[in-house]
Amino acid sequence: MNKSLTIFVGFIHDFAAGFWAATVLTVYWLHRLQLSNPEISSSLRPLGIEFFYFGLASFVLVMLTGMGRTFTYIENYYGEDAEKMRRKMLAVKHILLFGIFGSGTYWQYTMAFK
What integer pLDDT is reported at residue 112 of this predicted model?
95
What integer pLDDT is reported at residue 4 of this predicted model?
84
Quick: pLDDT tens for 13-65.
999 999 999 999 999 999 999 999 999 999 999 999 999 999 999 999 999 99
Range of weakest confidence among 18-27, 52-61, 73-82, 95-104: 73-82
- Number of domains within the chain: 1
Instruction: Mention every residue, 6+ apart, whose C-beta is less than 8 A from residue 109.
Output: 52
Asked if pLDDT for residue 1 goes beyond 60, the answer is no
Q: Give this prediction's pTM.
A: 0.84
Q: What is the mean pLDDT of residues 82-109?
A: 90
User: What is the 3-class SS of the chain, one letter each residue?
Assistant: CCHHHHHHHHHHHHHHHHHHHHHHHHHHHHHHHHHHCHHHHHHHHHHHHHHHHHHHHHHHHHHHHHHHHHCCCCCCCCCHHHHHHHHHHHHHHHHHHHHHHHHHHHHHHHHHCC
Domain assignment of residue 40, given as a range = 3-112
What integer pLDDT is reported at residue 47 of this predicted model?
96
Asked if pLDDT for residue 67 goes beyond 70, the answer is yes
